[in-house]
Each structure stands twice: as structure tokens, then as C-alpha cells.
Amino acid sequence: MASKSFQPDKEYWYDISSEGEFEETLKYFETELQATAVDLADRFDKDFNDACRYLLEEKFNEYNVFFDFLIDVLGEEKVLYRVTEFTERLSESDRQQIADYKKRH
């Protein structure tokens, strides 16, 4: 048995007890890698701004994308709707922590 996590706190287990199972698992990882990291790298190679828009609009919830990065590239007005979505999902405790932080700084 083997485990792999593509995302934090999401671990998956794979049966690699036979050569066939192991080969199938490797094939799966290759497909995942091509569909995620390689695809994203290709998008950035082709057009940096389009890749950033793709992250914002298509893959925002799947990837750990930093708001400041997207704002630097795309501008605040294009990213604002995602910031709003994020802040609306915050708990009252999180909102209070932010307010306290703002007061101190």
C-alpha cells in the first residue's frame, strides 16, 4: 500500500502490492501530473496573463492561489469578486481576528 496527497489534508491510498497495480498507479500519477502541473506550466509559458485568469476563473478552488499575486497581475477589480466570496465564508471569529489585526497595524 502507498499513499499520496495532491492537496493538504486529502490523502489517498493506492494498492501497489503487485507489479500490475504498481504500473497502474504510476500511470494514474502521470495522468494527474499532465492534467495539473504540466498543463498549468504550459499555460504560463504560452500567456502569463491568460494563465492567471484561468487560475482565477477555472481553478481557484482547486489550487492555493494567493490574492496578492492575482491582483498584481490582473488588477484588483478583476479579482474583487473572489475576495468577496472568500470573506463571506469567514466565520465570525475569523472576521474578529482580522479586525483586531487591522487595529494593531
Domain containing residue 6 = 1-46
Residue 61: what pLDDT?
85
Which among 48, 55, 62 has a CA at the least distance from the CA of 78? 55
Q: Are residues 53 and 103 in the same domain?
A: yes
Structural domain total, the chain: 2
Same domain (yes/no): 27, 57: no
Q: Look at the pTM and tell me if it is higher than 0.85.
A: no
- Interatomic CA distance for residues 34 and 56, integer angstroms: 20
* H-run or E-run covering 3: strand 2-7
| Share above pLDDT 70 across residues of the chain, in percent, rounded to a whole number | 91
Residues 56 and 26 in one domain: no
More confident residue, 2 or 79: 79
Pair 103, 56 in one domain: yes
Helical H segments across 1-105, by residue range: 19-33, 39-46, 48-57, 67-74, 76-88, 92-104
Q: Are residues 20 and 63 in the same domain?
A: no
- Residues 70 and 91 both lie in one domain: yes
Residues 64 and 103 in one domain: yes
Please write the tens of the pLDDT for every residue from 54-104: 999 999 988 888 999 999 999 999 999 999 999 999 999 999 999 899 999
* Same domain membership, residue 69 and residue 104: yes
* 36 and 16 within one domain: yes
Q: What is the mean pLDDT of residues 45-62?
A: 95
Whole-angstrom Cα distance, residue 86 to residue 57?
Answer: 14
